[in-house]
Amino acid sequence: MLFLARMDVVFPDSMDPEVMADFQVKEKAYSADLQSRGIMKAIWRVVGEYANYSIFDVDDHDELHAILSGFPMFKYMNVKITALAKHPNALEYYLKG
Amino acid sequence: MLFLARMDVVFPDSMDPEVMADFQVKEKAYSADLQSRGIMKAIWRVVGEYANYSIFDVDDHDELHAILSGFPMFKYMNVKITALAKHPNALEYYLKG
Amino acid sequence: MLFLARMDVVFPDSMDPEVMADFQVKEKAYSADLQSRGIMKAIWRVVGEYANYSIFDVDDHDELHAILSGFPMFKYMNVKITALAKHPNALEYYLKG
Amino acid sequence: MLFLARMDVVFPDSMDPEVMADFQVKEKAYSADLQSRGIMKAIWRVVGEYANYSIFDVDDHDELHAILSGFPMFKYMNVKITALAKHPNALEYYLKG
Amino acid sequence: MLFLARMDVVFPDSMDPEVMADFQVKEKAYSADLQSRGIMKAIWRVVGEYANYSIFDVDDHDELHAILSGFPMFKYMNVKITALAKHPNALEYYLKG
Amino acid sequence: MLFLARMDVVFPDSMDPEVMADFQVKEKAYSADLQSRGIMKAIWRVVGEYANYSIFDVDDHDELHAILSGFPMFKYMNVKITALAKHPNALEYYLKG
Amino acid sequence: MLFLARMDVVFPDSMDPEVMADFQVKEKAYSADLQSRGIMKAIWRVVGEYANYSIFDVDDHDELHAILSGFPMFKYMNVKITALAKHPNALEYYLKG
Amino acid sequence: MLFLARMDVVFPDSMDPEVMADFQVKEKAYSADLQSRGIMKAIWRVVGEYANYSIFDVDDHDELHAILSGFPMFKYMNVKITALAKHPNALEYYLKG
Amino acid sequence: MLFLARMDVVFPDSMDPEVMADFQVKEKAYSADLQSRGIMKAIWRVVGEYANYSIFDVDDHDELHAILSGFPMFKYMNVKITALAKHPNALEYYLKG
Amino acid sequence: MLFLARMDVVFPDSMDPEVMADFQVKEKAYSADLQSRGIMKAIWRVVGEYANYSIFDVDDHDELHAILSGFPMFKYMNVKITALAKHPNALEYYLKG
């Protein structure tokens, strides 16, 4: 079951650069794990913004909320999700790699 | 080069059902061709709406505009695109199939 | 898996009252069936508007889109859905009857 | 008399984690009491956000405002309410449990 | 129990002036009845717009929706309501006449 | 000459509770004086929000701005006003008490 | 007492050019009369739009609504007004001619 | 060449009252100079808000930006401008004094 | 003096294809003339939309409004303009060809 | 391949004037380099705002995101981009210098 998510990150101006770098390292590891487990099917940078669009494949809403709220930087993110269904014109449900 | 597109379709209330069905047949063929040529990498239905999110892989803006404005139902669509770049946390640029 | 939906209905001004009444009869039957099957858990009128909030319990997105787009008045509705997860403070997942 | 409420929580970045945890404990107790007294009929998490949708059953507006402004975290919440009436298509006024 | 309502009227351009005038006569009578029964406590014109703000005093949401949807021009109105509670600084709950 | 005002209050998170309480005492006295002088005809709490709708009866704009900007908590308020005229369907210009 | 008004004109596409021209002639006469009587202090075209900003000097809201709703093209206009007070930095209340 | 400007002022909560008063004195002098030189043709207070509408008469955009960004309080202002042209119904280009 | 304009075109659904084509031919000629006279410095298609961004170099607002309202398709366009000044970091005022 | 960008700068109120000046010097150098390399084709000041519109000519999205996120003041900027294609009415793809 697919969801499109848009995540915008806003760090407080006073955040220490090392703290920020540490968040980014943890975020990368968390994100890599989700991708390798087939839960996060894609993540792209929105050009010009500290934001991403990503695709999640989950079994239910409780799982998705646990995943999203588990992001190390969740406290600093605005997340909006859109539920996606199969499109009648789609040849395949997912992207071609 | 990837773009995320959201397309919302609004048909006039007075449109004849056969005309509408004909548009949908042509749209499906156009969309299938784009997918088989690797230009449209994905298309999903937005749940509850006559709308889709789709992913396009094109070489430049003139090509993308020609593709979008060539949709048989383009006259009845509102299209908004978002330019996507590689995300530093992405294991792969595209979705895993 | 729960979704909150808000549906706003806009009929064209020129619609014949009998056609409208017929739509409403069909809508009521469709809605009753969804409720009796436990798919639509609730539907409430938004005070002062031709709109409702409703709660759906479905297994996946394809099922939900099929249900929503199957409403007899779907063509005249704007539908926005919100995915709901269990809240840590909730004593029960659903409403008490 | 039913109301749908959406509550979004925004804590200041500088809030001490223990203070935040204490707020959340008090909030949970307050919320449980409202549910056990039949005032809060449901509360759900909005997936991906620090927000909830909830259903309140109250006798009048003064009671509802007292309840909402009595939430321990009220100072940090944006609350928007929608008055709900019985829908002509509803088999029951409340959700089926 | 008080509600503030804002009602915006939009007539289709093609409406016959006599039909419009008839609507306005019926609307005036309906509105006068609500005022004389103490249900509509006030109605004011929004300067420069075909719109009003009005105050309703009702016992519950079903009653309010019945009243609002009973306006002869309801089909042509956008209605937004706001629930009002007693303000701690108010000397009286209602306006002074 | 009537105006509807909506006032939303936002205190900085760091405000000392005693300072806040002092503001609220001064606000209450200021508001009571306006009501007893017949300038503020009504004030209601917006349910679930730190906000009010109120009705002002003034002779001109300079007087109204002086009154609004004289609120002890003006610095922390967002104020939006709407000019009200007599409605052709109104039995009385003001609310019935 | 001054008000700033913004008026946007939207004519239905089907309006006959002669009808439109007739409206514009009447509008010009109406507007000239208001200016010569000192009620409309200024009117400017918003560059690129079928819209104007104008300044009205009136005694009360009922007068202003009567003036605005008396525009020959009122039915086709969206009007938004803003109440203006004397600014503490203004050397004169009105524009210098 | 005329522009309508709307300027909203937002001072940080922590600003020292003397600093604020000093800004206001400088702003008044700057504004008076612009008026006496015929550049700022009018300035009005938006009722209920720390905001103004003003009219500027300048020769080009570089001059206007220099003037606006030269306001002592520019750092704390949100400025939105609208280009104004002569209206076909205007008896005079400017306001009557 | 430069302006950025965004123009969105909306044709009525009922417009005859030949009428539309005729508008487009006239629009192209009008636009070419403005470019050859150095008034319209650039025009670009917004990808995926029946819209353009364009750059105008004019002497004053009356000239600009005359040019914009002279577009053959002006009746079907929404136009929003933004006044542009020289940027302190710009090496040249205009684009490099 | 062209993009229009709008960049709005918001510095924290507490920023030291020397730090701000240093940012502006670095920004100017970065911007000049992009212009001299033909990547940034134009940059204009939005009149009355700490914002610019600029035109970028890049080969792909990854390059554009690297350029935009490399601005010394990127952390303090909100950036929105619009993809531009050749317009059928354009005599030349770029501006005339």
Domains of chain H: 2-84 (3.30.70.1060)
Other CB atoms within a 10 A radius of the CB of residue D88 amount to 12
DSSP track, H10-42:
---TT--HHHHHHHHHHHHHHHHHHHHTTSEEE
Burial of H36 (0-12, 13-18, 19+ CB in 10 A): exposed
As a whole number of angstroms, the distance between CA A40 and CA B95 comes to: 9
Q: What is residue D48's DSSP assignment? A: T
Is A84 an interface residue toward C (CB < 8 Å)?
A: yes
The reported pLDDT for the residue numbered D96 is: 52
The reported pLDDT for the residue numbered E92 is: 82
Please give the distance of CA C92 from its chain centroid, rounded to a whole number: 22
Contacts of H32 (CB under 8 A, 6+ apart): G89, G91
F92: pLDDT strictly greater than 90:
no
- Cα of first residue to Cα of last residue in chain C, in angstroms, is 18
Residue at token pair 């009018």: H42
SS3 D94: coil
As a whole number of angstroms, the distance between CA H75 and CA H20 comes to: 13
Residue at token pair 């449990």: D97
Residues in chain E: 97
Contacts of E91 (CB under 8 A, 6+ apart): F32, F35, F36
- Helix (H) / strand (E) containing D64: helix D61-69
Burial of F46 (0-12, 13-18, 19+ CB in 10 A): buried
The single-letter code of the amino acid at D73 is M
| Chain E residues in contact with D3 (beta carbon < 8 A) | 83
For chain H, give the mean pLDDT. 94
DSSP track, G10-59:
---TT--HHHHHHHHHHHHHHHHHHHHTTSEEEEEEETTSSEEEEEEE-S
**Alpha helical stretches, state H, A1-97:** 17-36, 61-69
| Chain H residues in contact with I64 (beta carbon < 8 A) | 83, 85
| Chain J residues in contact with I48 (beta carbon < 8 A) | 83
pLDDT (average), residues E27-34: 97
Dihedrals phi, psi of D8, to nearest 5 degrees? -110, 130
Is J9 an interface residue toward B (CB < 8 Å)?
A: no
Rg (CA), chain B: 15
pLDDT (tens digit per residue) in A19-52: 999 999 999 999 999 999 999 999 999 999 999 9
Closest by Cα among D24, D2, D8, D15 to D78: D8
pLDDT (tens digit per residue) in I46-88: 999 999 999 999 999 999 999 999 999 999 999 999 999 999 9
| Chain A residues in contact with B82 (beta carbon < 8 A) | 46-47, 53
The single-letter code of the amino acid at I72 is P
As a whole number of angstroms, the distance between CA D36 and CA C41 comes to: 21
Is B32 an interface residue toward A (CB < 8 Å)?
A: yes
Cα distances from B82 to residues B5, B68, H95, J39, J53, in angstroms, run: 6, 13, 46, 20, 18
- Per the CB < 8 A criterion, the answer to whether J9 and J83 are in contact is no
Whether B96 and A94 lie within 8 Å, measured CB to CB: yes
For chain J, give the mean pLDDT. 94
Nearest CA in chain H to J49: H79
pLDDT interval class at I94 (50, 70, 90): low
- Helix (H) / strand (E) containing A82: strand A77-86
Closest by Cα among I82, H2, H60 to G55: H2
As a whole number of angstroms, the distance between CA H64 and CA I3 comes to: 14
Closest by Cα among G53, F65, G96 to H43: G96
- Per the CB < 8 A criterion, the answer to whether G53 and H82 are in contact is yes
Chain E interface test: which of C47, C50, C76, C78 (most E C-beta within 10 Å): C47
**pLDDT averaged over consecutive 10-residue blocks of chain D (97 residues)?**
97 94 97 96 97 96 98 98 96 68
- Per the CB < 8 A criterion, the answer to whether B24 and B95 are in contact is no
Cα distances from B25 to residues B66, D46, I54, in angstroms, run: 20, 37, 36
Whether J1 and B64 lie within 8 Å, measured CB to CB: no
The reported pLDDT for the residue numbered D92 is: 82
Dihedrals phi, psi of D4, to nearest 5 degrees? -95, 130
Rg (CA), chain E: 15
As a whole number of angstroms, the distance between CA G82 and CA F4 comes to: 13
Please give, rounded to a whole number of angstroms, the shortest distance from the CA of B47 to a CA of chain C: 5
Contacts of B74 (CB under 8 A, 6+ apart): B68
Contacts of H76 (CB under 8 A, 6+ apart): H9, H10, H11, H12, H23
Chain J interface test: which of A10, A15, A47 (most J C-beta within 10 Å): A47
Is E64 an interface residue toward D (CB < 8 Å)?
A: yes
pLDDT (tens digit per residue) in J54-95: 999 999 999 999 999 999 999 999 999 999 999 999 998 766
Is B41 an interface residue toward A (CB < 8 Å)?
A: yes
Q: What is residue G96's DSSP assignment? A: -
Is J42 an interface residue toward A (CB < 8 Å)?
A: no
Per-residue pLDDT of chain B (97 residues; tens, 9 = 90+): 999 999 999 999 889 999 999 999 999 999 999 999 999 999 999 999 999 999 999 999 999 999 999 999 999 999 999 999 999 999 987 665 4
As a whole number of angstroms, the distance between CA J68 and CA C51 comes to: 44
Closest by Cα among H94, H97, H15 to G90: H97
The reported pLDDT for the residue numbered B96 is: 52
Other CB atoms within a 10 A radius of the CB of residue F5 amount to 21
Is J81 an interface residue toward A (CB < 8 Å)?
A: yes
Is E17 an interface residue toward C (CB < 8 Å)?
A: no
As a whole number of angstroms, the distance between CA E41 and CA H77 comes to: 41
As a whole number of angstroms, the distance between CA G41 and CA H41 comes to: 13
Chain I interface test: which of H58, H61, H63 (most I C-beta within 10 Å): H61
Cα distances from E12 to residues C14, E9, F87, F94, in angstroms, run: 10, 10, 22, 31
G95: pLDDT strictly greater than 70:
no
